[in-house]
Amino acid sequence: MERALAVPRLPPHDPGIPALSVVDMHTGGEPLRIVLAGCPEVAGPTLLAKRRYMRQHLDHLRRRLMFEPRGHRDMYGAVLVPSELPEAHLGVLFLHNEGYSSMCGHAVLALGRFALDFGLVPAPPADVREARVNIHCPCGLVAAFVECEGGRSRGRVRFHSVPAFALATDLLVDVPGHGKMAVDIAYGGAFYAFVSAERLGLDICSAKTRDLVDAASAVMEAVKAQFKISHPESEDLSFLYGTIVTDGKDTYSEEPTTNICVFADEQVDRSPTGSGVTARIALQYHKGLLELNQTRDFKSSTTGSVFTGKAVREAKCGDFKAVIVEVSGQAHYTGTASFIVEDDDPLKDGFLLK
């Protein structure tokens, strides 16, 4: 019996439905499930077209991978696809509990390691200590820089963002249960609303996660109802992705500043949120609270994990003054898995508890 079970193999299943093989990673506690095999071709001439195709024709795969019983409410995923950009090493579609993101920083940090270790980029010479991986995200091309030794990754990764900018500052929003309050909105590959926990009557470090989620969700719904989000270059990017509740410490300090990100369908990021850190740095730079190449640490209120970020140079996005932001963090492998589907399983496409 022990010998028979020693070699992993798939149980009997419908051969007409390919097994889904994945590599699981995490960055700062936030999971990333990378699809290795089993996903049908995602059609489309551009990455954004592929994103639309997957939403319309392959959404059952997102649910199978993200939802219970194979995943959970806060699972996050990545499907690798070819890019139309000649300089890109890979393209990626991001998956979550509600749909498809335009950018994900923690995933980019993990994918940098993955791309190097799984041969998606040429192995660097043995004496090279950092390898560049160009990742085409729905928001644009993002460059990841992976610490390495002997051609293998070592865990620490940094990335340079797409142009990040402040969309609106001190926007007055009427939030049910909390009244009128000033909210900032900024873009870091995805749009976020920012509000301090104090304005919501909470303490970011001691409040229960459920209370922070409820308050962040109320802010998100209020902003969606009262303010039109518009990206200057693409309608596909013109949506509010999440709310980031902060400790309000936006003025530069050598001490970490703490936040929590609630996005999609009340999904909670365990990391400090890479694209959220990008947007927050753009916001602080816009307000004159941060200078170029002034490094700050951003801490997750849920896990205590830390990302480091800085604005490295000025840029433009449409008519908006923007910055390119560098974010760094530590990515880790957690394992591999293969998932099958039995055609008579009523929950084959997954479920979420409300």
Q: Write the pLDDT tens digit of every residue in 134-144.
A: 999 999 999 99
- Phi and psi (nearest 5°) for 195? -150, 145
> Average per-residue pLDDT in the chain?
95
- The answer to whether residue 349 sits within a structural domain is no
179, 284: one domain: yes
* Residues noted as catalytic: 104
Sheet strands (E) in the chain: 20-27, 30-37, 77-81, 90-95, 100-101, 130-137, 140-149, 152-160, 165-175, 179-187, 191-196, 240-246, 257-263, 267-268, 296-300, 306-317, 320-339
Considering the domain boundaries, does residue 303 fall inside one? yes
Q: Is residue 345 part of a domain?
A: no
Whether residue 189 is found in the same domain as residue 153: no
Q: Is residue 298 part of a domain?
A: yes
Is 252 domain-assigned? yes
Does residue 116 sit in the same domain as residue 172? no
Q: 120 and 252, same structural domain?
A: no
Give the domain CATH number at 96. 3.10.310.10
**Is residue 325 within 8 Å of residue 2, measured between CB atoms?**
no
Is 258 in the same domain as 124?
Answer: no
Based on the domain organization, do 44 and 191 belong to the same domain? no
Please spell the DSSP secondary structure of 169-203, one letter per residue. Answer: EEEEEEETTTEEEEEEEEESSSEEEEEEGGGGT--
Q: Does residue 351 sit within a domain?
A: no
**169 and 95 in a common domain:** no
Among 59-68, 284-293, 345-354, where is mean pLDDT lowest?
Answer: 345-354
Structural domain for 99, as ranges = 20-161+334-339
Q: Is the confidence at residue 44, as pLDDT, over 50?
A: yes
pLDDT tens per residue across span 224-278: 999 999 999 999 999 999 999 999 999 999 999 999 999 999 999 999 999 999 9
Strands 240-246 and 179-187: unpaired
pLDDT tens figures, 112-128? 999 999 999 998 888 88
Question: Do 306 and 168 reside in the same domain of the chain?
Answer: yes
Does 204 reside within a domain?
yes
Residue 168 and residue 140 in one domain? no
CB-based contact 236:191 (threshold 8 Å): no
Q: 182: closest CA among 248, 231, 278?
A: 248
Domain count, the chain: 2
On whether both 69 and 178 belong to a single domain, the answer is no
Integer Cα distance of 186 and 341 in angstroms? 41
Instruction: Give the mean pLDDT of 321-331.
Output: 98
Residue 6 lies in a domain: no
- Can you give the pLDDT at residue 8? 64
Q: Please check whether residues 25 and 140 belong to one and the same domain.
A: yes
Whether 155 and 191 map to the same domain: the answer is no
